[in-house]
A and B are shown apart, each in its own frame.
Chain A
Amino acid sequence: MRNAIRIGLLLAPGVGLVLAFMGAVLYRAVAQAFGLYDFSGTSDGLSLAHWQDVLTTKRFWRAFQWSAYIAASSAVIAVALAYPIALWLRKPFRGSLILSAMLKAPLLVPGLVAAFLLVNVISYHGFVNEFLVWAGVWAEPRRMQNDSNGFAIIGLQVWKQMPFAFLLLSGAVQAIPDPVLNAAQDLGAGKFARFRKIILPLTTKAMQAALVLIFIGAAGDFSFQTVAGPPSVNSMASYMASLQGSEGDWNGAAVVAVMLMALSLFGAIGLTALVQLITRTLGRLA
């Protein structure tokens, strides 16, 4: 008992601060969403009116679906690209160190810089359009900026997040001992069998972590959406900013914030479960 108290006291400065800061933010967001706190006016007391106002708009649900689509696509594509590269670079070879460093370069470039660069390159009279018109591929420039499918945002997310997935996955694949893979090969396991029966189960946790972290980051995206996203649809974060900025609706923005946290939580749980399911299914295949 005394030991437990001592450990608790020793942990209190760190854990307590984390809990206090997280708790304060969560409390503010949730309280504001339920009308218990109003930044720019007098609180009306506990109310579901703000939820009703926000959740009955098409704009909110389009933003919700859009953020889920962008986050899930970005996470899956980034991990799908990082996996083979991590496997390829598992054993060092001439130039692998430079290649590995170059793959991590996007971590050093702020996302906003990349977004502006991309928009410049693909704009109506940007490099891509000018080049393709000059080369005679297109008769006239095409509108690629702020595409309605969100390909530019997904591309930016993958570019920015893939090195992160690569870092997590390369650590996991490098930790697999060679004798294990050699033994499997000696027992007749082919490349695909080794991948699904040894590599995949042993790297599942890293893959789940990569998927979840990328999903949460991309679901809360503001800058890519604002610069390169289609103006006719919002991400959850840009919708929050719009509600507060254009309409001064702090309570509505708080409702969106709570729903964004819910999307992050349930999206993360969903992706984790999906990876588990796929790993088990592949493992059971003959």
Chain B
Amino acid sequence: MLRKLMTTTLACALMAGPAIAYDLTEMSWDEIVDEAKAEGELTWYVWYFQPEFRQAVKPFEEQYGIIVNIPDVSSGDDALNKVLAEAGRETGDIDIIALGGQAGNRIDVEAVFLGPILPLLPEADRLSDEAEGVNWQGYGVKYWGNQTGMAYDANRVDPETLPQTLADLEAWIEANPYQLGFNYENGGSGPSFIHNVARNVLGITPDSVVDEVPDLVSVYDWFNSREDKFGITASNADSLTRLNSGEFLIVPAWEDMLFGLIRKNEVGDHIEFYIPEWGMNGGGNVIAIPKNAPRKAAALLFAAWLTSAETQTALNGVFGSAPANTAADDSNALVPNDQRANSRVWSAPLSDRDVVPGFIENVVQD
């Protein structure tokens, strides 16, 4: 028994092999592609749309003969925690990881990730390393653009009467009590709504400079004075489910999430989407390669494919995501391009993290 155990341990140690010793920055793109093909597979940690992504990566698998493993990951934070937890290991489990743009504020990207990888990508000049107002210094590359807005039941709401400004919203809530629902956690659509209502109540415009967090009492009062006229939902998905079932008329939502649910017939196509003039946050996700990724060349080739104009156009068609490559086509989006002017940044002026915890404590728990 002991001999078997020792033999197995030795075999495992030999199979694991040494850490990969090549330097991607010293290699030509053709050499990187050859090395990637030799590696043969990669593991991509992405926390959303996993079944759909397993289909979406098939063209990459067919083109390069490299298998893409997409394990089930429950949340972006769980994926981030795994990267951090195994950062001390010589060789980790993750080849490439998707992260929300703001994750770059919470970790030392230079210490954890390989790079900068942006200059290594063939379409680098059409791509960006900024997402959600965070500069990833080339260690993360934006591959996914998403936008929060308001989803509404087009069978029962005339688009002409949709609230566009804070004053419109106040009047709309008075006229339609308990027909607005939003979440405060388990997804960012509700927090985006809370955040942008707060900005409007405080008179903060996109050009404002906010050096310190202002007194938020007027924001809490705005919500508390209407607490019996709106509903709190459990999550992004719960908001859309209850809108779809007719319980609410209008809820905050993510554009790509709604697009996907309509496509799968989980939500009817009578649910439509707009970005109001009071502003809703737009975001983006990046991909990054951990320093201890076991198959770095395959990961970089995958990053190049994922951010290419062709793939970004395809993703827009399948998911409704906003392309992150300037040469891609975004004609499948749920909103016309002119409404994108109402998109706001999560982090400034006045970060959502300065507003939402206080909202939970002083409105939800009040």
What is the interface of chain A, defined by CB distance below 8 A to chain B? 39-40, 57-59, 62, 123-125, 141, 143, 146, 226, 230-233, 242, 244-248
In the complex with contacts A39-B85, A40-B84, A58-B365, A248-B242 CB distance below 8 A? no
| Chain A residue contacts of B231, Cβ below 8 A | 143
Q: Find the A residue at minimum CB distance from B76.
A: A245
CB distance from B366 to the nearest CB of A (A): 8
B interface: dominant SS: mixed
Report yes or no: B365 in contact with A62, Cβ–Cβ below 8 A.
yes
CA distance A244 to B185 in the complex (A): 12
| Chain B residue contacts of A39, Cβ below 8 A | 81, 85
Chain B, interface size: which category?
A: 20 to 34
Name the contact of B185 in the complex, choosing from A40, A124, A246 (C-beta under 8 A): A246
CA distance A280 to B186 in the complex (A): 49
In the complex with contacts A39-B81, A245-B75, A245-B77, A143-B247 CB distance below 8 A? yes
| Chain B residue contacts of A233, Cβ below 8 A | 365
Q: Can you list 12 residue pairs at the A/B interface with Cβ under 8 Å?
A: A57-B365, A58-B361, A58-B366, A59-B364, A124-B246, A125-B245, A125-B246, A231-B184, A231-B232, A231-B234, A246-B185, A248-B106
CB distance from B69 to the nearest CB of A (A): 24
* Nearest 8 A/B pairs, CB to CB: A124-B247, A58-B365, A231-B234, A231-B232, A125-B245, A59-B365, A232-B364, A232-B232
| Chain A residue contacts of B242, Cβ below 8 A | 124
Bitwise, B328-366 to A at CB < 8 A (1) or not (0) is 000000000000000000000000000001001100111
Q: Find the B residue at minimum CB distance from A124.
A: B247
Question: Is B312 an interface residue, CB under 8 A from the partner?
Answer: no
Q: Find the A residue at minimum CB distance from B235.
A: A231
In the complex with contacts A59-B360, A62-B365, A232-B232, A123-B81 CB distance below 8 A? no
Report yes or no: B185 in contact with A226, Cβ–Cβ below 8 A.
no
| CB neighbors of A among B224-247 (8 A) | 231-234, 238, 242, 245-247
Report yes or no: B234 in contact with A226, Cβ–Cβ below 8 A.
yes
CA distance A124 to B241 in the complex (A): 10
What is the interface of chain B, defined by CB distance below 8 A to chain A? 75, 77, 81, 84-85, 106, 183-186, 231-234, 238, 242, 245-247, 357, 360-361, 364-366
| Chain B residue contacts of A226, Cβ below 8 A | 234
CB distance from B182 to the nearest CB of A (A): 10
Residue with the greatest number of chain A CB neighbours at <10 A, chosen from B75, B81, B234, B361: B234
Report yes or no: B75 in contact with A146, Cβ–Cβ below 8 A.
no
Report yes or no: B245 in contact with A242, Cβ–Cβ below 8 A.
no
CB distance from B32 to the nearest CB of A (A): 32
Q: Find the B residue at minimum CB distance from A228.
A: B234
Q: Find the A residue at minimum CB distance from B107.
A: A40
| Chain B residue contacts of A62, Cβ below 8 A | 365
CA distance A124 to B247 in the complex (A): 6
| Chain B residue contacts of A124, Cβ below 8 A | 242, 245-247
CA distance A226 to B75 in the complex (A): 16
CA distance A173 to B355 in the complex (A): 57
Q: Find the A residue at minimum CB distance from B78.
A: A245
CB distance from A277 to the nearest CB of B (A): 34
Report yes or no: A59 in contact with B361, Cβ–Cβ below 8 A.
yes
| Chain A residue contacts of B185, Cβ below 8 A | 242, 246
| Chain B residue contacts of A231, Cβ below 8 A | 183-184, 232-234, 238
| Chain A residue contacts of B84, Cβ below 8 A | 40
